Copies of this chain bind each other. A is one copy, B any other.
Amino acid sequence: MKVSALGEFGLIDLLAKMISGAQDKSAASLQKLLIGIGDDAAAWKAEAGTQLVTTDSLFQDVHFRLETTPWYELGWKSLAANLSDIAAMGGVPEYAVISLAVPPDTEVDGVKALYQGMLDLARRFGVAIVGGDTCRAPLVSLTLTVLGKARDKEGKVLTRSAACPGDKIAVTGALGAAAAGMEMLDNKLKLDAESGRQLKKAFLQPEPRVAEGQTLVGLGVKAAIDISDGLIADLRHICECSRVGARVEADKIPVAPAVRKHFGERALELAAAGGEDYELLFTASGEVMDKVRTKISCPVTIIGEIVAEGPGCVILVDKHGRRIDLSKSGWEHFSA
């Protein structure tokens, strides 16, 4: 059935029932919920503390193509991108509202799969979907807003503006797999099955580092960002906000094994500038880094250090200390 046959209110009704049935009623966010989907606004009982909000949009043919991103994965990824922003603050995500636009001839089953993807990820982090908006548009687009809170009563969060000269720079996980996954799907590249599976998952179903972000803030890390635009571009955001420079050793960047295996000389570029890895990039003193590396539940790699010189600038060097220029250093909208 097409959404045009169901109508706006029929679609809202179907989605509200689906969401209500799929959510974990024992989650703290749902226990505090007073009014969910179906009123002018959602309402919940909040405790005093530091509140967080982030929003992120995905547009068809700008951020994704329906030919390579199935509905379920589109839902998953759109929520993952927002949860990753909360993770980059070291926060606890709690509530999400979803604004969805689809063409009238969209299959209802597609929209259901989209919500299933969001619901499956939301459930893992105790996030309640509490409202939204649906409308018709010539192309599919999704805007999610996620609300959360600081991990503890003191309200400590990770910011882009807290990096200090002398800090080590580190990243969680491995990089480049999401961008390589997009290339693989766009260009129908044939890789070995396991590499193909890894790259596809990295591109379509990234795992936001929610628990890891909370661990970082608990261990005294102060500066972080999530890697959505690309390692170098996002590190530049930290440098601009903190008015510091950064020096990154190319050899130390953890390139995802499947990217190293299949993308040859381009592997470094994919890892440094590819974007959408949704790993955490953070800075801290050597002492704090030592604690992080023993306590955190994922790989952490130190890739360089924060310097006082060249505020807002990121320098990439090879093992001999020579500067490397990357032709493309991150994703930017509107650029020519």
Q: Are B38 and A99 in contact (CB under 8 A)?
A: no
Docked pose: A253 CA to B186 CA in angstroms:
57
Instruction: Indicate if A193 sits at the interface (CB-CB under 8 A).
Output: no
Instruction: Indicate if A264 sits at the interface (CB-CB under 8 A).
Output: no
- A13's nearest neighbour on chain B, judged by CB, is B240
Q: How many residues of A contact B (CB 8 A)?
A: 75
Contacting A40 at CB < 8 Å: which of B7, B8, B85, B95? B85
Instruction: Indicate if A120 sits at the interface (CB-CB under 8 A).
Output: no
Count of chain copies: 2
Q: Which residues on B sit within 8 Å (CB–CB) of A143?
A: 55, 57, 99, 133, 143
Instruction: Indicate if A202 sits at the interface (CB-CB under 8 A).
Output: no
Q: Which residues on B sit within 8 Å (CB–CB) of A61?
A: 138
Docked pose: A331 CA to B42 CA in angstroms:
22
Q: Which residues on B sit within 8 Å (CB–CB) of A133?
A: 55-57, 143
Q: Are A7 and B335 in contact (CB under 8 A)?
A: yes
- A10's nearest neighbour on chain B, judged by CB, is B334
Docked pose: A186 CA to B155 CA in angstroms:
51
Q: Which residues on B sit within 8 Å (CB–CB) of A241?
A: 38-39
Name the residue in A39, A56, A335 with the highest tally of chain B Cβ atoms < 10 Å from its Cβ. A39
Given contacts A34-B50, A62-B136, contact A40 B88 (CB under 8 A): yes
16 A-B residue pairs with Cβ-Cβ distance under 8 Å, sorted by A, are A34-B155, A34-B157, A35-B159, A39-B89, A40-B226, A41-B88, A42-B53, A43-B52, A43-B150, A44-B51, A46-B51, A47-B48, A53-B145, A55-B133, A62-B101, A136-B334
Name the residue in A43, A49, A155 with the highest tally of chain B Cβ atoms < 10 Å from its Cβ. A43
Q: Which residues on B sit within 8 Å (CB–CB) of A157?
A: 34-35, 43
Instruction: Indicate if A91 sits at the interface (CB-CB under 8 A).
Output: yes
Q: A45-82: contact bitstring with B at CB < 8 Å (1 yes, 0 no)?
A: 11111111111110101110000000000000000000
Given contacts A39-B161, A137-B59, A334-B6, contact A131 B53 (CB under 8 A): yes
Instruction: Indicate if A97 sits at the interface (CB-CB under 8 A).
Output: yes
Instruction: Indicate if A23 sits at the interface (CB-CB under 8 A).
Output: no
Docked pose: A198 CA to B264 CA in angstroms:
66
How far does the Cβ of A210 sit from chain B's closest Cβ, in whole Å?
Answer: 12
Instruction: Indicate if A332 sits at the interface (CB-CB under 8 A).
Output: yes
Instruction: Indicate if A11 sits at the interface (CB-CB under 8 A).
Output: yes
How far does the Cβ of A229 sit from chain B's closest Cβ, in whole Å?
Answer: 9
How far does the Cβ of A303 sit from chain B's closest Cβ, in whole Å?
Answer: 19
How far does the Cβ of A203 sit from chain B's closest Cβ, in whole Å?
Answer: 19
Instruction: Indicate if A168 sits at the interface (CB-CB under 8 A).
Output: no
Q: Are A39 and B160 in contact (CB under 8 A)?
A: yes
How far does the Cβ of A237 sit from chain B's closest Cβ, in whole Å?
Answer: 8
Instruction: Indicate if A307 sits at the interface (CB-CB under 8 A).
Output: no
